């Protein structure tokens, strides 16, 4: 009976999240662009083969939010020392930020500041960044060519979990929130992050943190619900697949 109740509760949570995702895709949750959008388009329009839909001017502008990426480039120099000049970090345990939603990056930084996520260095840095500077910094990273993997075929088990999930265990497919290629459902919806092409080691670490309860800041705790149902083999297969996208 306990397990039945848990599955019902998980199902209600996941249905609510998917409904919210659909609504956000229609209405958008990004702040309205402000002065500096012209400069933003000039910095960010860097089409790459296979990613024109995500790196053309309009999607970039939407995911970059209200900040000024030109100013953000200079303001983010400290961030670049770890996350890379263009948001592609060399250390596999440090996340790539290139093409990530500005609002998502900002939320994570404020979560570090509040203690919702725990990281001593990030919490200290967050304390020093004003909301205006944060908008510009996140706009800069969001305006970069979106992260991508090597494009090779990933683990078939990981692909199945990503695209289909397993509703017999109330494991909703990742594609529902993160998009077919892990590049997000729409640039208007920054609730769920870009994952495709992220470092495998970083993805593994975060999924383990969600599964162990060390991280619990996903909407409605959906990531805690899903990862707790995964075996070690499934988790490894999934991060292998996502990192290649």
Calculated CA dihedral for residues 124, 128, 130, 136, nearest 10 degrees: -80
- Confirm if 204 and 155 have CB atoms less than 8 A apart: no
Amino acid 29: pLDDT: 41
Amino acid 137: pLDDT: 98
What residues contact 11, with CB distance under 8 A and at least 6 apart?
170
Count of beta carbons in the 10 Å neighbourhood of residue 91: 12
Q: What is residue 166's DSSP assignment? A: B
Class of 2-27+149-244 in CATH:
mainly alpha
pTM for this prediction: 0.83
Same fold, 2-27+149-244 and 37-142: yes
Amino acid 197: pLDDT: 98
Question: Phi and psi for 129 in degrees, rounded to 5?
Answer: -105, 125
Amino acid 52: pLDDT: 58
Domain ranges within the chain, ordered by starting residue: 2-27+149-244, 37-142
What are the mean pLDDT values of the chain's consecutive 10-residue runs (245 residues total)?
A: 46 56 44 38 36 85 97 98 98 98 98 97 97 98 98 94 95 96 91 97 98 97 96 98 98
Class of 37-142 in CATH:
mainly alpha
Look-up: residue for tokens 């250390």? 91
Count of beta carbons in the 10 Å neighbourhood of residue 81: 10
172: its two tokens: 């909703």
**C-alpha distance across the termini of the chain, in Å:** 40
Look-up: residue for tokens 């998502």? 104
Amino acid 15: pLDDT: 58
DSSP-derived 3-state class of residue 130: coil
């Amino acid at each position: 009976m306990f397990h039945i109740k848990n599955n019902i509760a998980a199902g209600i949570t996941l249905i609510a999240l998917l409904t919210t995702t659909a609504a956000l895709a229609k209405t958008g949750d990004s702040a309205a662009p402000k002065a500096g959008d012209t400069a933003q388009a000039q910095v960010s329009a860097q089409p790459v083969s296979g990613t024109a839909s995500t790196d053309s001017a309009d999607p970039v502008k939407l995911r970059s939010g209200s900040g000024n990426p030109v100013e953000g480039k200079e303001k983010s120099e400290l961030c670049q020392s770890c996350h890379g000049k263009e948001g592609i970090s060399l250390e596999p345990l440090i996340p790539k930020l290139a093409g990530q939603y500005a609002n998502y990056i900002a939320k994570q930084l404020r979560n570090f500041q509040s203690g919702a996520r725990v990281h001593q260095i990030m919490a200290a840095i967050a304390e020093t960044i004003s909301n205006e500077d944060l908008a510009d910094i996140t706009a800069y990273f969001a305006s970069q060519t979106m992260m991508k993997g090597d494009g090779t075929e990933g683990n078939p088990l990981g692909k199945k979990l990503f695209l289909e999930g397993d509703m017999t265990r109330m494991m909703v497919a990742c594609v529902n929130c993160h998009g077919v290629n892990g590049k997000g459902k729409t640039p208007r919806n920054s609730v769920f992050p870009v994952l495709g092409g992220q470092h495998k080691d970083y993805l593994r670490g975060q999924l383990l943190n969600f599964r162990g309860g060390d991280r619990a800041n996903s909407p409605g705790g959906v990531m805690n619900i899903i990862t707790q149902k995964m075996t070690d083999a499934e988790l490894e297969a999934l991060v292998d697949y996502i990192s290649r996208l």
